[in-house]
Amino acid sequence: MSETPAGTPGTTAGPSGDALENLLAEGRRFPPSPEFAAQANAGPDLYADAAADRLGFWAARARELTWETPFTEVLDWSGAPRARWFADGRLNAAYNAVDRHVEAGLGDRVAIHWEGEPGDTRTLTYADLQREVSRAANALEALGVRTGDRVAIYLPLIPEAIVAMLACARIGAPHSVVFGGFSAEALHTRILDAEASLVITADGGYRRGAPSALKPAVDEALAHGDTPVRHVLVVRRTAQDVDWTPGRDVWWHEAVDGAADVHAPVAVEAEHPLFILYTSGTTGKPKGIFHTTGGYLTQAAYTHSVVFDLKPDTDVYWCTADVGWVTGHTYVAYGPLLNGATQVLYEGTPDTPHKGRWWELVQKYGVTILYTAPTAIRTFMKWGEDVPARFDLSSLRVLGSVGEPINPEAWIWYRRVIGGDRTPVVDTWWQTETGGIMISPLPGVTRAKPGSAQVPLPGVSAEVVNEAGEPVGNGRGGYLVLTEPWPGMLRGIWGDERRFADTYWSRFPGFYFAGDGAKKDDDGDVWLLGRVDDVMNVSGHRLSTTEIESALVSHPWVAEAAVVGASDETTGQAVVAFVILRADAVERADEPGEGSDVVASLRAHVVHEIGPIAKPRSILIVPELPKTRSGKIMRRLLRDVAEHRTVGDVTTLADTSVMDMISAGLHGSAAAPA
Ligand code: WT7
């Protein structure tokens, strides 16, 4: 179990003490302009509607989708915590995202303006998408994929990623997208856990101006020989040489391009799994969060429409997330398409080939709604205002933020420099598990407070509670919980019912425990304060301390390891590892010039086991780790060291001299931060 935060919950990872006071002291308020409020999709009455009849409210949102068989029952909570929403209805996700718009005469509307990193482009209308998805669905069926089979998707951010997801959804085969930045080992674990029978990948993608390979990682993952994978479908993107396994490997262009462009979508039960997405938890093993069809799509379409105030016929929407994360599922693949939006999709990094690339794209496509992460905003702040100033950003009318708390300074910069001091900014709190946005201002209603996600959306019930599960009241801090089921809620952890109940539903019986600390201010607005468990947030991506520790101890030189998330100006948190070496490795580390070698080797090992996103910023070789008498590592003290603070209270340590030893060892250690 995680280290229980002593005293004030919510201060383990998030801002503490003075930092928190400064955050809450930000007094500026940004009410919506009367013009914006007058045209907004959602007005104040939405809160009243939802409060008056919560289930009726959600049923009405669900009926905005197209059902093959309408549902008669809204929520069955008798099997709590496993919810069943709209359970006797049947529908198809791809039909709702694509076909119904074509049938409504919108086939010529652009669904996706895609821009490759090297500058190549593709435009897909809804009619194009319907043909592409149908071809791909036919190809998947020809490769033996059936309703209910799992398909792993390991692709760069190219249109085929979305086509592949929708093709799976079209035949009712749950997809499991694995972010292209994860290693072969991480991919292997996920394929195995989901028992995927097909992998869809590419030869590679473009990153920072150069092709980067993907297929070798799939080959390496499958070389274990223990997965049920029968075929690997390979998109040609970079034309790199690839190793080929005849009989197993199939080119996308050979299987898909020639397939029939008509396909009858398979209507599935509302509770049929739509996808599995792995995310880090507090143990070493990632959790396969799974979402089902009807409830998830309801939450995706509704939140995307009201939070971003989407006008499908005039807006150009751009969410910068990769489809490897939940943001890319709900707010790239599903939400915008369900709502018939036109969106931008960009393959590459913000600084390739120049630091104004994003703003160039905003200008080029006339982007009106931009949704990104605080870490990106802070990076742009560092690069300077003159970069965005070179482009015309006047099309923008709503800005969104997601992934981690946004500091008021970044919020205000975002609104002023990117939004021309004119656009609402919505700070959206949610999680892989919640499926869609839960806490956020509504841009036409809420008087925005920089730094606070503020209020649960209409239909959502959230609270901040103390250790005993009682609401803390305004002005107090505690734990964020969700007190009523919602349609987009996870239905479980794939293959691990028990862990689902333990992780989310046992700490505060009857409530969903989000794992975040939060504070309610005097107005009752919610401020998110970071994780209270052993989960880190690096650049808006979730990483598990335990998972990285397991990776480190699987290295032959490592005896013990402890990992903490230390605050970082740009990435929010950064990975800092404390490692005790085995005796034979210590000798190595002591040799002149060898110490940094040890650190480099450990760092490379983490990249191999998990992926570049988990690479530690620093690895500190230490003689001991601080442990309580029951043997639990006190990460709080290590965080003090990593953040260069005076080490806190050590009285509960089994050996109170350990922290002195660590501090002494760090000065003059051969293996200081690299
Ligand atoms: C964790 C969920 C939601 C999609 C991206 C991350 C943190 C997320 C906010 C926000 C403060 C936030 C929380 C949460 N988080 N959005 N607006 N303000 N914190 O999804 O990987 O499942 O991570 O991200 O700590 O628990 P995820």
531 lines ligand 1 (CB under 6 A): yes
User: What is the enclosing helix (H) or strand (E) of 50?
Assistant: helix 45-52
Q: Look at strands 425-428 and 398-402 and give their pairing.
A: parallel
117 lines ligand 1 (CB under 6 A): no
The atom number, within ligand 1, closest to the CA of 327 reads 4
For residue 229, give every residue at least 6 positions away whose Cβ sits within 8 Å of its Cβ, in sequence order, or none: 152, 191, 196, 197, 198, 199, 222, 248
Residue 21's pLDDT is: 63
Model pTM? 0.93
Per-residue model confidence as pLDDT tens digits over 387-409: 999 999 999 999 999 999 999 99
Q: Is the dihedral of CA 299, 305, 308, 312 positive or negative?
A: positive
Q: Which residues pair with 549 in a beta bridge?
A: none
The atom number, within ligand 1, closest to the CA of 401 reads 17
* Spatial distance between the Cα atoms of 556 and 552, rounded to a whole number of angstroms: 9
Q: Is 330 exposed, middle or buried (0-12, 13-18, 19+ CB in 10 A)?
A: buried
Contact indicator for 490, 83 with CB cutoff of 8 Å:
no
Roughly what angle, to the nearest 10 degrees, separates helices 583-590 and 595-609? 130
431 lines ligand 1 (CB under 6 A): yes
Question: Nearest Cα to 379, choosing from 344, 346, 417?
Answer: 417
Lowest mean pLDDT among 113-117, 248-252, 642-646: 642-646
* Omega before 81 within 30 of 0, i.e. cis: yes
585 lines ligand 1 (CB under 6 A): no
Q: Which residues pair with 567 in a beta bridge?
A: 573
pLDDT of 264 > 70? The answer is yes
- Split at pLDDT 50, 70, 90, the class of 345 is very high
* Spatial distance between the Cα atoms of 623 and 590, rounded to a whole number of angstroms: 13
372 lines ligand 1 (CB under 6 A): no
Lowest mean pLDDT among 58-72, 113-127, 434-448, 590-604: 590-604
* Spatial distance between the Cα atoms of 230 and 150, rounded to a whole number of angstroms: 12
Roughly what angle, to the nearest 10 degrees, separates helices 595-609 and 184-194? 30
Mean pLDDT value of segment 262-281: 97
Distance 373 CA to ligand 1 centre (A): 10
Q: How far is CA 291 from the centre of its chain?
A: 14
- Split at pLDDT 50, 70, 90, the class of 478 is very high
327 lines ligand 1 (CB under 6 A): yes
Distance 321 CA to ligand 1 centre (A): 13
Question: Nearest Cα to 452, choosing from 529, 378, 539?
Answer: 529
The atom number, within ligand 1, closest to the CA of 528 reads 11
Q: Whose CA is nearest to atom 19 of ligand 1?
A: 404
Per-residue model confidence as pLDDT tens digits over 165-222: 999 999 999 999 999 999 999 999 999 999 999 999 999 999 999 999 999 999 999 9
pLDDT of 36 > 60? The answer is yes
425 lines ligand 1 (CB under 6 A): no
342 lines ligand 1 (CB under 6 A): no
Distance 429 CA to ligand 1 centre (A): 6
The atom number, within ligand 1, closest to the CA of 406 reads 18
Q: CB 431: neighbour CB atoms within 10 A?
A: 18
Question: Nearest Cα to 124, choosing from 335, 300, 344?
Answer: 344
Q: Whose CA is nearest to atom 6 of ligand 1?
A: 403
